[in-house]
Structure 1
Amino acid sequence: MHDKPLSKLAGHLLRRLPGASHPARHHAGPDRFGLEEEKVLRFTEDRLDPAEEGRLAEEVAAVLPLGWSLSPRAKERLHAVTEHLGGERQLLEWLDRHPGLPRLTARLVALMGTLDRYSDDAEVVEALRASRAEDPFPAGLENVLPPGTSEETLSDVSYRIDELLFERQTQDATRLALATTDWLRDATRSSAPSSSGISEMRELMTHLRKDIGEADAAA
């Protein structure tokens, strides 16, 4: 994964909460996949062999979506893995070193964090409004975007990607992610080049589009 998207993450990926348009509700699922307590303990003591570490990465990738809905025990185990690695950025870098679902999940989570970060950026929101005035429902987003554009629009898309991952609809989540990066790249190309936020968003979407596409092709 390119370093630029990781360097811009706000550092609250594992504590992402549903926005006002997505009130918290019960989701049954992540804990039944779980994180094996013994495996987590051995990982924090650097006693896992490469094959076991790969299986742990698969387990972590399975519980990251909608992580706020995990049970306290599952959250503790995920926190232990994260702390051992050095933090949330290091967790994504670790997942990215394991091909398949872990790498793809890491790159989708990086996109979700980026969407959340720019969701209330006034210049970005205005660029999206201008883009949707010409094309209200960009390809791949017809059943995702609401009619209007607001400070919650990108967070809404981020939440939907998260939800699809949670539901194990990985290909649908990936398709939505790629459609989103395409839309945002196109929308920001038409905006004022003097805006640092717009320029940065365009660059990040270019990197993330490539990263997610490569991970998907290799999954």
Structure 2
Amino acid sequence: MHDKPLSKFVGRLLHRRPGASRPAQERVGPDTYGLDEEKVLRFAEDGLDPEEENRLAEEVAEVLPLGWSLSPRAKERLYTVSSHLGGEPQLLAWLDRHPGLPRLIARLTALTGNLDRYSDDPSVVEALRAARAAEPLPAALDGTLPPGTDEETLSDIAYRIDKLLFEQHTEDAARVALATTDWLRAAARRASPASPAVEEMAEFMGHLHEDIRQADAAA
């Protein structure tokens, strides 16, 4: 995966702002959500073989989208893994090194982190508003967004992806993510004049589109 989308903007995986975790606030589930305590503790002591580490990565990928619905014990185990790796960006990088679901979750999480950040930039909002006025939304995003375009537009898309992941509709989440990155890249390229934030978004969304496409194909 490209370093910039992975490392520059993802530092709040376990502490995203409340609006970004709406689907996960709706319920509270089992105490550990499949994170094996013995495996977590051995990982923290560098005691797992590669096959066991792959399985732990899959378990982490399964629980990461559940966000605020995780119990305190599950959060503690996830924090143990994250701390051992050096923090939340390193946790994402670690997931990205494991093919299949872990890599796909890492890259979808990188996208939603970017969407939350860019939603605060007025020049990005204006570029999206102009794009929606010129052309209809991609089919995968049709019905996802309200008619107007404002600072909540990208957060609404991030919420949609979060919700699909929370409900374990990973293929649908990837489909929406690919449509989103393609749309944002096209909107940024047609913006004139393009602000530095819009130009940056075009570059990042191009990287993320290819990263998510590759991970989705291999998952």
TM-score by length of 2: 0.94
Alignment of 1:29-178 (within 5 A): 29=29, 31=31, 33-178=33-178
Contact 1:108 1:174 in 2 (8 A): yes
- SS of the residue corresponding to residue 33 of structure 1 reads coil
Shift of 1:29: 4.5
Deviations 1:137-168 (A, max 9, x none): 33310021111111111111111111111111
Contact 1:21 1:156 in 2 (8 A): no
Q: How many residues align?
A: 219
Structure 1 ranges of 4+ moved more than 2 A: 20-34, 135-139
Measured on the aligned residues, the alpha-carbon RMSD in Å equals 1.9
Shift of 1:196: 0.7
Aligned position for 1:210: 210
User: In structure 2, do the counterparts of structure 1 residues 175 and 96 end up closer, same or farther at CA, with 3 Å as the change threshold?
Assistant: same
Residue ranges of structure 2 left out of the alignment (5+ in a row): none
Deviations 1:66-98 (A, max 9, x none): 312211111111111001000111111110111
In 2, Cα distance between the equivalents of 1:51 and 1:214? 22
- SS of the residue corresponding to residue 140 of structure 2 reads coil
Q: Greater shift after overlay, 197-206 or 183-192?
A: 183-192
Deviations 1:40-79 (A, max 9, x none): 0000000011111000000000011131221111111111
In 1, Cα distance between the equivalents of 2:201 and 2:194? 13
In 1, Cα distance between the equivalents of 2:209 and 2:20? 28
In 2, Cα distance between the equivalents of 1:200 and 1:20? 22
Match status 1:7 vs 2:7 = yes
Contact 1:44 1:81 in 2 (8 A): yes
Identity of aligned residues (%): 71
Q: Greater shift after overlay, 158-167 or 205-214?
A: 158-167
Residue ranges of structure 1 left out of the alignment (5+ in a row): none
